[in-house]
Amino acid sequence: MDAERARAFLLSLPHAVETQQWGDNLVFWVGDKAIGGKMFALLNLDGDGRHGVAAFAAGPERFHELLEREGLTPAPYMARIFRVAAERWGALGNAEWQEMLRVAHALTFAKLPARTRAVLAMPQREQARLVAERKRLRASAKSKEKTGVATRTPRAS
């Protein structure tokens, strides 16, 4: 497995959305974060070796078991929510990577609030409209915060 293959696999999962955050990190969400989606995996593209090549949700049941394997460590800043980081791509075989990422996706999907799952169940066109609307509202709220006008962004329905 490598970053390119992992990215292609992650984007093939249902409702997976990719963002680039915190430098050269590709962050994968179950559902767009604008509608309450949650992060389930992260690929570190900067190659600094300090934070590993990838991090993913392992869940409380598998977290400690995975940490016993060479090349897997608690994910920086995310270990408290049972995230595991891989120091190198060779820490897991291709089939294991796919299974771990599929499980991370499923664990995260199961924790989504009912309102977010309801949005994800909408037809794609309606879902895209709602995501765009939420992003516009957030951008508007941020610009008003900068000018000193306090507002509250309504929640997704």
Residue 127 contacts residue 119 (beta carbons within 8 Å): yes
pLDDT digits (tens, 9 = 90+) for 3-24: 899 999 999 999 999 999 887 8
Compute φ and ψ for 146, nearest 5 degrees.
-65, -30
Residue 117 lies in a domain: no
pLDDT digits (tens, 9 = 90+) for 104-142: 999 999 999 999 999 999 998 998 898 889 889 888 887
pLDDT digits (tens, 9 = 90+) for 48-64: 656 689 999 999 989 99
Q: Name the percent of the chain lying above pLDDT 70.
A: 90
- Domain of residue 157 covers 122-157
Residue 155 lies in a domain: yes
Confidence at residue 76, expressed as pLDDT on a 0 to 100 scale:
81
Q: Distance between CA 92 and CA 109 in Å, rounded? A: 23
Q: Based on the structure, what is the number of domains in the chain? A: 2
List Cβ<8 Å contacts ≥24 apart for 138-143: 138/34
Structure tokens at 95: 């089939």
Confidence at residue 156, expressed as pLDDT on a 0 to 100 scale:
57
**Global pTM value:** 0.82
The reply to whether 104 and 127 lie within a common domain is no
Confidence at residue 153, expressed as pLDDT on a 0 to 100 scale:
55
